[in-house]
Chain A
C-alpha cells in the first residue's frame, strides 16, 4: 500500500541549528514527492517538489529512491520556520490522488 510516514510529530530546534524533517514513503513506482507547509493561521501551501530541485526559503529536499526517503533540510533554522510540515506523494503525473503524511510540527526556539 502507498504510504507516507513522518516519524516525528514534533521537532524542536534552536535558532541557527540545522533542521531535518524526515519523510519516508512506500510506493513501488516512481512517485512525485512534495513538501507542504502550514504557518500559524495560514493555509496549507506548497513548499517544494522534488522534481524542481530548488531551494525554497533555504530548505532543500533530495529524493533518495534507495532509501525511499525525501527528508527536508535547512542548515540554519530561523524562528519564522516554525510551522507544520507535511510530506506528500503523488503516484504519477496525471493523477491528483495525493497521499499526505501526518505532519511534523517544527518549533524553532530563540
Chain B
C-alpha cells in the first residue's frame, strides 16, 4: 500500500497512561498532519510537520507532542491520558511545504481509534 499508513488501528488504554501513534506518509510526501476527531466533533487540526520541522500548530494540548523522523514517518505522543482523549486520530500527508501558496491535496490515513478507560 503506497498510501498513508497508521498504526495501530485500535488502542485501548487507561487514564494516566502514555501512548504513541505512528504514521507513515505516502511515498514522496514530505508533509505530515495530525487531526483529532472526538465523538460528534469535526476533525480538529493538531499539528503539521514538513521534512522534520514543525510548520503549524493547532489546538494541540501540552500533554501531546509529535515529531517527524528523518525517514519522514511521524509519531504522535499522548501522555497523562484522560477519558476525553478518546477519539479517532488521523494522519494525512501531502507534498506541500507549508509555505507554498498553491494548493496541494492532503491524503488521509485510515486513522487510529484510541479508547481511554
Q: Are A96 and B33 in contact (CB under 8 A)?
A: yes
Contacts of A32 in B (CB 8 A): 103
Check if B43 sits within 8 Å of A96, measured CB to CB.
no
Interface residues on B, range: 20 to 34
Do most interface residues of chain A lie in helix, strand or loop, or is the interface mixed?
loop
When the two chains form their complex, are residues A51 and B103 in contact, meaning their CB atoms are under 8 A apart? yes
Residue in B33, B41, B44, B102 whose CB lies within 8 Å of A93 = B102
User: A96 and B98: CB pair below 8 A?
Assistant: yes
B42 and A94: CB pair below 8 A? no
Give A23 Cβ to nearest chain B Cβ, in Å: 11
Count of CB-CB pairs between chains A and B under 8 Å: 58
Q: B33 to chain A: closest CB distance in Å?
A: 6
Whole-angstrom distance between the alpha carbons of A96 and B49 in the complex? 10
Q: Which of B81-99 contact A (CB under 8 A)?
A: 90, 94, 96, 98-99
**Is the beta-carbon distance between A93 and B103 smaller than 8 angstroms?**
yes
A17 contacts chain B at the CB level, 8 A cutoff: no
Interface residues of A in 59-110 (CB under 8 A from B): 86, 88, 93-103
In the bound complex, how far is the Cα of B48 from the Cα of A32, in angstroms? 18
Query: What separation, in Å, do the CA atoms of A27 and B94 have in the docked complex?
Result: 25
With a CB–CB cut-off of 8 A, which chain A residues contact B71? none
Q: Is B8 an interface residue (CB 8 A)?
A: no
Nearest B-chain residue to A32, judged by Cβ: B103
